[in-house]
Structure 1
Amino acid sequence: MKTKLHEVNRVNVLNLIRAQGPLSKAELAEKVQVSQTTVSTILAKLMKEDYVMEEGTGDSTGGRKPVLYRFNPNKAFIIAVSLRNSSIQMAVLNLSGERKNEMVYQVQNVKGDAYVEHLLKSLSLFVHPILESHSKFVGISIVCPGVVDAKNGVILYNAKLDLYQIELKQRVEEAFGLQVFVENDLNALVVAEKLFGDAPYQEMLYLSIDEGVGAGLVVHDHIFRGYSGSAGEIGHMSVVPGGIGCSCGNQGCLENYVSWPAIYARILSGWFTQQEGGAIVARADFNPEKVTAIHFVEAACEGDPFALKIVEEMAEYIAVAITNVLHFMNPQAVILNGAHVVNNEPLLAILREKIEKRAMNIVQKDFEMRQTALGNDMNLLGALAVLLQDEMQVGKYNVFLRQQNG
C-alpha cells in the first residue's frame, strides 16, 4: 500500500509540474495534500531522472524565496506517426509536443499489406538518419483509424485501408528496436484534448467528421473502448433507414452523408448537374478537382445558398447522431473536429438549434458542444498523448487528485 501511495504521489507531482509549473514545494504539497518532506523526496528523484529542473525563485511570503520547479520537455523525444487513408505523417516531438522534424508521405491508394510495407519503408527513410544522431528517443507512437487492440498493438479492422489483424507493434519494434505504441486515432485525440486542449470533462464524446466519421468516448475520466475495442464507430450509426449502402454492410450510415468525401461528391454533383455551388468552385479557380473543405466552409460562412443548403442537410444528420448519444450516454460535452466542420459557424449554429429541439431537457443540463482546441497538429499530439499516458502515467490518478483537492 505504501508503494502504491508513493507511486500516486510521484505521478501527481510530475503531472502538476508538467501542466501548471513552475511550482514551489509548498504549492505542490498543498495541491497533492502531502508533506513538503514527501514532495522533496519525490522532486529529488524526478530531478535525478531529468524529468524536472529548477527554474529560479518565486515571490516570498515572509521568509526565504521558494525555489520553483519546472518540467523538462527535452528529457526525451518520440517519433509520432499518424496513419491516414491518403497519407502518412511523421514527426519528432519532445514531451511538450514541440516538433523537431516532420515529413508527409503520400499513400497513393495502396491498401492491405502494401500499405504496411509502404509505412515501414517510409519509417525507415525517416527514422534511421535521426537515430544515428540522437539517443533520447523513448519510442514510436502510431495512431490510426479503425478498430485497434491498443494493449497488443494490433490493427483489428480498417475496411478502407484493407487492414485486418495487423500486428503493427511487433513488426515496427522488430524493424527499429524501439518501444512502439499503437492506438486508435480518436482515442488518442480524446487524451490529447484533455492534456493539451481545454476539455476537463469526465464524460465526453469526441466526434471527428473528416475523411471518415468516428468518435472517442470518455467515461469516468477514462477511454471507453467497448468489449472488442470498437466503441466509437458512430460513423456507422444509421441516420437514414434504408439509405445508402455502406462498406460495413449497413445502410444509411452517418459517414455516407456528412464525411468530406460525401460532401465533396455533393458539391461536384451540384456543379455538374445543376450549375450550383459557383461560390465554392470559384475559390478553386473554377477547377472542381481542387475544391477543398476550406473552400466549402468559407462559402458557407459568407452565406452562399448552395453551401448553406448542404450545411442544413449535414446538421440534420449530425443532430440525429448526437441526440442519440445524449440520450444513451449523457455526456458533459461533445467536441467536434474536422476540416469542413471546424470554424463552420453556420453549421454549428444550426446544429445547436436542432439538438436543443430534439434532446430531452435533462440531458441538455450543463451540456456543452465545442470545437477542438488542438489546432492543425492534432494527430501528432494524439500520438504524443498516448505515449505520455503510458510513459508518465499522465491522467492515471486524476480522480484521486481531484478528490484530494475537492
Structure 2
Amino acid sequence: MKLESNRAGIMMNTTRGYSSFVPAKLPPNPPIKIDSEMQKLLSLADRKLGRLDGITEILPNPELFVAMYVKKEAVLSAQIEGTQASLVDVLNTSESETNDHSYNEVVEVVNYVNAINWGLANLSELPLSLRLIRNIHKVLLKDVRGFDKSPGEFRKSQNWIGPQGCTLETATFIPPTVEDMEKALYDLEDYLYEDDDLPALIKIALIHAQFESIHPFLDGNGRMGRLLITFWLCQQKILSQPLLYLSYYFKQNRLEYYDRLMAVRVRGDWESWIKFFLRGVASVSDEATDSAKQIIALQSKYSELLLRNDKANNNDSVLLNLLFEKPIVTKKEVADMLKVSLPTASSVVDAFCGMGILFDKTPEKKRYKTFVFREYLEILQKGTEIIKN
C-alpha cells in the first residue's frame, strides 16, 4: 500500500533513504464534510453516550460499577494488542500466578487500570498534556513487556508498523522522524484545547487517529491512544466517569479499525474513520447501558432474596455488595473481607451457594476452593474472550 501526500499529511524523504509520514495539523483542510449520514451517526452517538453517562445516577454503588467497567476496557484494549489475559484472569490474580496464562500479561492489564485511575485522579491538577501523557505511559509499561523501551519518554529513534519481523524497508507504515514527531506532538497538544466548532465526538476521533499516526512511543502507542479517548471525554465533562469501553468495538472490528486508520494516512479519508468511530460510540454506549441495567436488576433480585430469607444477616448483605467488586473469592478472602472467622465465612459462602448466588469454580478441590458470582461475571465477560493469535 503506497502512501502519498494528502490532506492528512505528507510523505517526507529522509537521509536514510526511506519516506516517513508527517501528519498535517488538525483540524483537516479541506474541512471535515459532515454529510447527512455523519450527522445522523453523531446525533445517535451523542444521545446514547448521554444515556450511558446518566446511568450512574441510579446505581446503588456507582464506584464499584465504574471500577468494573474500567477493568473491562483494560482487558479489551490489551487484547487488541495480542495480550492473552481474560477478565477472569485479572479478577483472580492469585490463581493467574499458577495457571497457564503469563502473570506478566495480567500485570499489563492491571497497569492499564492503574493508568486510567492515576490519570483521572491527576486531571484536575495536571490538565491533559504531553507531560501527563508521558506520566500515564510510564504507569502503563511499568515492569511489563516494553519496560525496556523508555516508558514515559517520547522516542528518540525511528519506529515503524508492520508484520512481525518487518524492517524499515518492508514496513506497512513509517511514522514521522523524531524531529517531525516533536512538532506534530506540540501541534496535537495545542489542538486538545483549540475551539474549532467541531462536535466533541468528531474532535476526539481526530485526536485518536492523529496520535496513532504520530506513534510517539517505542511501545504502547495503541493502548495509550485509546486511553486518550477516555481522558479527553472526561476532561471535557462529556463523561463524568470512564464508562465507555470503546475497545469492545475496536476489538470486534479489529481489522476495520486498523484499515480505517490506515485509510486516513493513505487517502486522507477522515470521514470514513469518523463514521466508524461514531458507530462504535453508539454501539458500545448501548451495550454498556444494557449491561448496567442487567447489573441493577441482579442487585435487586438478590437483595430481595436476602430480605425474604429469615436466616440472612448483616454479613450476607455486606458480602453481596462486595461480590460486585470481587466476583471471584475463596472462603479465606471472604473471611478477610467480612472481618470474621473462617468458619463463619465458610457458612456464609455455603449459604450463598445454596441460594444460587455463588458457584463452586473448583469442584475437584477438597480445600482452597474458589467460588464465582457467575451471573454477574456472565454480564461483564461479554466480548472479553481471548483472541487466539
Q: Greater relative contact order: 1 or 2 (C-alpha under 8 angstroms, separation 6 or more)?
A: 2
Output the TM-score relative to the length of structure 1.
Answer: 0.26
Judging by fraction of residues, say which structure has more strand.
Answer: 1
Judging by fraction of residues, say which structure has more helix.
Answer: 2
Output the TM-score relative to the length of structure 2.
Answer: 0.27
